[in-house]
Amino acid sequence: MLEDHIGVVCERAFAERYGLSINEKILAEGDDHYDFLIRHGTLDVKGAQKAYNLLVKEWEIDRCADFLVLARWEPGDIVTFLGWEKKETMQRQPKKDFGRGIVNHYLSRHKLRPMSDLEQYL
């Protein structure tokens, strides 16, 4: 499935860029809502082809990672990290169904914190 491929590629790219270890084990029940344990909590990379907004599912918002990163995936496995935000901020964002039957808290990629600001937490 393309969505799973995008997720794995974005996680690997993040691990390589920031010198983190990636858990290659694929868990049947999911990844506990985070991809990495970092110095200041948990971090999840949200990869998408159409990365217009950072999205966190309504049902997941209380269980999601402490730090959320938006990544854009392009064919050829090209990954660009667009920005990030904290869980507490995402919990206060508006909710919307973008046409797939899933209600998400969302924040425009243009309002995300710059990646350079994340480095202090890694």
Q: Write out pLDDT tens, residues 27-59.
A: 444 567 899 999 999 999 999 999 999 999 999
Over the range 21-40, which residues count as b (16 or more CB within 10 Å of their CB) and which as e?
eeeeeeeeeeeebbbbebee
Distance CA 59, CA 41 (A): 20
> pTM for this structure?
0.92
Q: pLDDT band at 23, cuts 50/70/90? A: low
